[in-house]
Structure 1
């Protein structure tokens, strides 16, 4: 079936090493692009929100071309050799700013280029030939989940017009634990990480958006999984773009090193079709 409507996505990128490593999450992203292309037709562009590009108010990068930014340190030389040169979409960037502005969310379209690693790593795995133009949209990390949901709702029309809305982050993101000693044997998951995963999956399946919007108070161990929550907040952009009628549909679930959950979700009425294609 071909359709111009696409399910918004929340994708966990975790470490920038996902660009070159072999892991369940990396292999999932390798299958994601072809699954979208075959099920819906190739997206005409992707609007991507990442925690690694943050501003005090949203900005849509309107550059005609983008390159990968190596915004990290201490990784192997192979990672720094990775490139991702993608087309931008100036008109779409201005449309994003306009739609958010019409929803009461002042947004600038700026003549700027560059893809942080939360953007280029997932796009490179899904579309390694940079076949899909990209419009980066900055995250406002001080906004509440409800504010980010509202921003996502303002972008919902894009998802109905062949634009893939992506929130890139990490299902859990406590780097102190990731780099610290493990309390469970290799290959096992910390129980509190699994509990957080289970809660999000259950609330998403039940369409319990009020609970998800209040995750900091209601989710088990929320502050432990996200000492700062910028890697979780893009979830709400994608969920808002999908709307409240349909459930959040899990399209991937895995954990790195027992503590870094790499789950991904699709939203909106077409999420189930994507999950079926990936299955």
Structure 2
């Protein structure tokens, strides 16, 4: 049984860095049986209707960012898709009353390929990218994940790639932004570890500084999707959490 994962994809330079977090990601896949595919919900692919990437060809590597080191734009992650597994994912959504469509053209954005390049550097695991709609209510995000519950028992890994706090704080006091973001993150992590689903669904009202740290929820909803797709009887476990002077917000949770 492969659990579902929520993984912070941090920033694009993660693809070039060598640090404690990249080391963690490079060793993460070895903790589980080799998956026959990865279904990945990325905060950087938004659509009104849940959309499943469906191809048997290699995905294009999308550089959906700017202003970083030139060598970042030379990196490739040529993983292939699987139309068979993509069809199974789409069917699972539709059986659970979730409208879904497929896309055979879109590549892998940095929310997908940067962490996959660390976890599966050979790019030999088929990838099924799935979009998010950040404007659906939290209960619906959970249901989207629940539609895929059981895929882990078929050796298919489900990953939600995003960030718990996502407030850049341009023009604000950095210390204040860090404090509020870390307090929000701590509440989410501790609540997830208790599997307090009602509280997580009501995070905007219950979590400290939620409106500030999640001004737009596209990076947060992959956590709710991963929660839904994980084994409901399993105890969530925080696999990684980094809180330092340089970085915070690098979190990985197993559901």
TM-score by length of 2: 0.93
2:198 is matched with 210
Q: Which runs of 5+ in 1 are unaligned?
A: 268-279
Q: C-alpha offsets along residues 1-29 of structure 1, whole Å, 9 cap, x if unaligned?
A: xxxx1000000002111111123322211
CA contact (8 A) 2:15 2:118 kept: yes
Shift of 1:174: 1.0
Instruction: Tell whether 2:217 aligns with 1:229.
Output: yes
Residue 172 (1) aligns with residue 162 (2) = no
Q: Distance in 2 between matches of 1:50 and 1:256?
A: 25
SS at match of 1:87: coil
TM-superposed CA distance for 1:58, in Å, is 0.5
- Counterpart secondary structure, 1:94: helix
The yes-or-no answer on 1:59 pairing with 2:51 is yes
Aligned position for 1:34: 30
Matches within 5 A, 1:1-279: 5-36=1-32, 41-64=33-56, 65-176=58-169, 182-183=174-175, 190-255=178-243, 260-267=248-255
- Where 1:60 maps in the other structure, the secondary structure is strand
Question: Do the aligned residues in 1 keep the contact of 2:150 with 2:231 (CA within 8 Å)?
Answer: no
| CA shift for structure 1 position 108 | 1.1
Cα RMSD after superposing both structures: 1.9
Kindly tell me: are residues 246 and 30 of structure 1, through their superposed partners in 2, closer, same or farther at Cα, counting changes over 3 Å? same
Q: Deviations over 1:150-207 (max 9, x none)?
A: 0111101211100000000012111235x866338xxxx9332332222122212222
Corresponding residue pairs, total: 254
1:53-99 CA distance string (max 9 Å, x none): 11111111111121211111111101111110001111111111111
Do the aligned residues in 2 keep the contact of 1:190 with 1:259 (CA within 8 Å)? no
CA distance in 1, matches of 2:165, 2:245: 12
Distance 2:155 2:231 in 1: 16
Distance 1:174 1:107, change over 3 A: same
